[in-house]
Amino acid sequence: MDINTKALKKNAFRVTKVRGITASRVRVPGGHLPTEYMGMIKAIADEFGNGTVHITSRQGFEIPGIRYEDMPAVNERLQPIIEGLNINQQTPGKGYPSSGTRNVTACIGNRVCPYACYDTSAFAQRIEKAIFPNDLHFKIALTGCPNDCAKVRMHDFGIMGMSRPHYEKERCVGCEACVKKCRTKSVEALTFRNYKVERDAKTCIGCGECALACPTRAWTREGEKRYRLTLLGRSGKKNPRLGVDFIKWVDEESIIKIILNTYDYVKEYIDPNAPGGKEHVGYIVDRTGTEEFLKWAMRDVELPKGAEVISPLYWGGIRYR
Amino acid sequence: MMQNEYVPFFSEVKEVIRHTDIEYTFRMAYEGDVKPGQFFEVSLPKYGEAPISVSGIDEGSIDLTIRKVGKVTDEIFEHYEGDRLFLRGPYGNGFDVDTYKGKELVVVAGGTGLSPVRGVVDYFAAHPQEVKSMTLIAGFKSATDILFKKDLQRWRKVMNVILTVDSGEETKDCKVGLVTEFIPGLELSDVSKAAAVVVGPPVMMKFAAGALLKRGFAEENIWISHERKMCCGIGKCGHCKVDDTYICLDGPVFNFTKGIRLVD
Amino acid sequence: MGYYLKEREADRFLKELSADYELYAPVKMKDDGMFSDTDTVRYGKIAKASDIVFDEKSDYSFKEVLLPLSETLFFFTENQMKEADGRKKGAVIFLRSCDLHAVKRLDEIYLKNGYEDYYYKRIRENVKFVLMGCKSCFEDCFCVDMGTASADFYGLSMEPKDGGYQLDNKYAEWDGILEELCQEKLPVTPSTVTETKVRVTIPENLTLDVAKSGMWDEYDGRCINCGRCNFACPTCTCFTMQDIFYTDNGKVGERRRVAASCMVDGYTDVAGGGSYRKKNGERMRFKVLHKIYDYNKRFGYHMCVGCGRCDRICPEYISFSGCIGKLEEAQKEVENHDAE
């Protein structure tokens, strides 16, 4: 058997522990898909695989038990899924292009969840279009609100939804439902004074609890979407650590630009001898210094009014050695 | 021009009588008809309003006995030096003394409950010939909580006054025990026609009314006065509504037959 | 008199009215919902006919126009009280039949029931009502059973028809302009709903004893006492007074009233720390019986107009009409209990 393992890995297949057998990896950007594609995945698993599917930790499906020689046939069968999920692809019919950059994951977001501040899957799909295909090792995740169900702080770029609260004093009847919710569920940014509510903008994390609690629509969410962007969290064998806050109240445009800029930075500074050509962004930043990274990342970025850049940035984390 | 009931008027503080550390009577300048048991909304702008029942009525003045128990009353105690308070009222029905004329009358009052009935007691103290007999049972927590001490001395001369405290030392003029304990022993010539007025905390009113019924009083001869959050005083704000009754309009004084059926 | 107006003429009519009146109607409020990317329909000022939302029920009612959620009564300085100014213009309010019936309830409390309310009256005197006909009921409506599905005491009716609007006018002073603008004069009867999906029957033998039923207990746990049902209700009229000061040590401030809810903590607090109806079930009972029992006892007709807004707005899916449906059994329960 003569198989180019390097090439198949770049085609979203895997070298498994079973000789002669591969697995196909189906990415679902934003973790949301029409059910018709599930039927297609099932058909591939039944026909070419072993009749099982693994739901991956990054919101994809891995179809195990496929023979290497069936890869072209599988790729053909994957084509409608790739098109349907709007995946950037160089050559139609040749399967998923892959990929040091991992599937962009998202919590269920505001299509379903009452707490979510935006449509996480839609934003994930927008990022997908901007960055794929790409061989560099990037992990990006989106979560609807500061509850962070998607655990975005474990990612190079963590995107957390924020709702900028809007207070219409004239509609406030002083029931204090917002004050109580902010105190018990969030950061205690609201105080009741002179029968109206005052918000400490520095403390507020934009979780939206006030807008949820308000019975009269005195508190609502401003329509313009804003986010908290966290930086350079990671898992791994050297120094796993949580991503730290980078920009509060940042907008979508800036986030996408910062991510694309970071690809340029990585291309410039990645260790040419990194195993498999993959190196976590964070280790590169450790080497170049944060200043140099920020110089690249913020190139031509015009932050929206009200965005707060946190500086300086410090990471901690666990060091195994 | 429409009457704006919400805008209060100034009233001069003519005298302040300190009963206890937390209970003062403010004698306020007031000209106009008012009945005992009615109430005024007393306010200090900036701090809000509180419904206070009329505890005395005199030529050109009314007494408002205020217990310092909340934000507004705290401030009134601090700031009355300004020599005037803002008032709206009088509101509510109040006690109608005519109802009790010619009867054997028993007034049972607990704590500040003595305020709204003080006008009734005072009236019959001044016109003792207008009732067949008059008994006042006034109960307080302890000797230091006793209100209207001078009045009590004065009333003793013209009526049967039973002053009692929940706990403490018994003295010549003051017994120890709950007001209800003195009801069974009431001497009355015809209890079925006797009238009673009961005012005090809800629990006290419940047990005192029970004791009166047991003693033989007819339900329709017992009157009580309710306290609720009377915010507007004029039947609008809804806070004092109980069943189909607006305490501020239809009360606060109720015949027992109606008053007891008010379910909050 | 009935008229048919095309869109452009309808807009011109509204423009004419806006010389003397602010026009209030249910409008779409973008991003106004409690959840992100959700809207509400509630009362706002309109400039043209297409601003009016005819095909949805408003989440909050018209009452905010007559009884603002927060309303300054007067200003005070150390020595003076100054009454807050009234509105310069009158108001034209677009509302449905159930809501027009609700106006009668607001009037009952604010113009009668002991005293006239100065602030309500001065707004109310300059209000005109436009009935929005209902072609069909919405999910939670039960107006037919509450007897509020039709209202012939409107001043003007207006509803969309064939790309324009049909109107029936009873305000004599508006006939001139309508005649001038209309494409056609024709007899117009506002659309009326004759049946609703939700049905209610209020037991006739209901007594206050039903308060003792166990039916209220389930609401202790289910209700979160947020008060949305009250704030959205077109017939809830309660308020609380607030005194505020403009500076920490200043002597200048204002007294205002804000909408109050009998479901929310603090509603019954009396000075000294006492309060009544601590449990949510007791509050539910107090509210429900007011709407369909004790208001009727005092004023001779039910307070609830069956608009169903309380059902629709409840985040805990507590149904008011569903609660009415439990009353008959509850009344039996307390009667049997007493018989034992």
Subunit contact B48:C118, Cβ cutoff 8 A: no
Interchain proximity C270–B234, CB inside 8 Å: no
Residues lower than pLDDT 70 in chain C: 248-250, 272, 338-340
pLDDT score recorded for residue C211: 94
User: Is the distance from CB of B159 to CB of B130 less than 8 angstroms?
Assistant: no
With a pLDDT cut of 90, the percent of chain A lying above it is 91
> Are the beta carbons of B147 and B178 closer than 8 angstroms?
no
* pLDDT range class, residue B81, cuts 50, 70, 90: low
Assess whether pLDDT exceeds 90 at residue B202. Answer: no
Report pLDDT for B38. Answer: 95
Contact C238 B239 (CB under 8 A): yes
Query: Looking at residue C256, what is its pLDDT?
Result: 94
SS3 labels along C173-212: HHHHHHHHHCCEECCCCCCCCCCCCCCCCCCCCCCHHHHH
Chain A contact for C240 (CB, 8 A cutoff): yes
pLDDT for B1 equals: 57
Which subunits sit against B, judged by 3+ Cβ pairs under 8 A?
A: C
Q: Nearest-CA distance from B39 to chain C in Å?
A: 15
pLDDT at B71 over 90: no
Q: Is C216 on the interface with B (CB under 8 A)?
A: no
pLDDT surpassing 60 at residue B187: yes
Record: contact B2-C116, CB cut-off 8 A: yes
Best A107, A216, A219, A225 member to test C by mutation, with max C CBs in 10 Å, is A216
pLDDT at res. C245: 83
User: Are B264 and C116 a contacting pair at CB < 8 A?
Assistant: no
Give the pLDDT score at B53: 92
Chain-chain contact of C277 with B264 (C-beta, under 8 angstroms) = yes
Q: Is pLDDT above 60 for B2? A: yes
- The per-residue DSSP string of B22-73 comes to SEEEEEEE--S---TT-EEEEEETTTEEEEEEEEEEETTEEEEEEE--SHHH
Asked if residue A60 has pLDDT above 80, the reply is yes
Find the residue in A nearest to C70 (Cα). A170
Which chains have 3 or more CB–CB distances shorter than 8 Å to chain C?
A: A, B
pLDDT at residue A321, as a whole number:
81
CB contact under 8 A, B229 and C270: yes
DSSP H helical segments within chain C, as ranges? 7-17, 63-66, 97-111, 118-124, 143-146, 172-181, 217-222, 228-232, 280-289, 295-299, 309-313, 320-324, 327-339
The answer, for C58 touching chain A at a CB cutoff of 8 Å, is no
Nearest CA in chain B to C258: B237
pLDDT of residue A20: 95
**Of the partner residues A175, A208, A217, the one whose CB lies closest to the CB of residue C36:** A208
C301 touches chain B (CB under 8 A): no
SS3 assignment for chain A: CCCCHHHHHCCCEEECCCCCEEEEEEECHHHCCCHHHHHHHHHHHHHCCCCCCEECCCCEEEEEEEEHHHHHHHHHHHHHHHHHCCCCCCCCCCCCCCCCCCCCEECCHHHCCCCCCCCHHHHHHHHHHHHCCCCCCCCEEEECCCCCCCCHHHCCEEEEEECCEEECHHHCCCCCHHHHHHHHHCCCCEEEECCEEEECCCCCCCCCHHHHHCCCCCEEECCCCEEEEEECCECCCCCCECCEEEEEEECHHHHHHHHHHHHHHHHHHCCCCCHHHCCCHHHHHHHHCHHHHHHHHCCCCCCCCCCEECCCCCCCCCCCC
Cross-chain CB nearest to B45 (options C110, C240, C255): C255
Q: Does C166 touch chain A (CB under 8 A)?
A: no
Task: Measure CB to CB from residue C231 to each of A110, A174, A215 and give the nearest one.
Answer: A215
User: Which tens digit of pLDDT belongs to each residue from B34-55?
Assistant: 999 999 999 877 778 889 999 9
List the single residue in B7, B232, B236 with the smallest CB-CB distance to C81: B7
B73 touching C (Cβ < 8 Å): yes
Mutate to test the interface with C, among B1, B2, B6 (most CBs of C within 10 A): B6
CB of A172 within 8 Å of a chain C CB? The answer is: yes
Count chain A–chain C contacts defined by CB atoms under 8 A. 74
Is the pLDDT assigned to residue A38 strictly greater than 70?
Answer: yes
Cα of first residue to Cα of last residue in chain A, in angstroms, is: 41
Is beta strand C40-45 parallel, antiparallel or unpaired with respect to C70-76?
unpaired
Of all residues in chain C, what percent are helix, strand and coil, respectively (each to 5)? 35, 20, 45
At B127, the pLDDT band (50, 70, 90 cuts) reads: very high
- pLDDT surpasses 60 at A88: yes
Cross-chain residue pair A175–C68, CB shorter than 8 Å: no
Asked casually if ipTM beats, i.e. exceeds, 0.85, the reply is yes
**A223 contacts chain C (CB < 8 A):** yes
Residues A216-264: tens digit of each pLDDT: 999 999 989 999 999 999 998 889 999 999 999 999 999 999 999 999 9
- Between B73 and A91, residue with greater pLDDT: A91
Count CB pairs under 8 A between chains B and C.
119
Nearest to B154, CA basis, from B176, B130, B124: B124
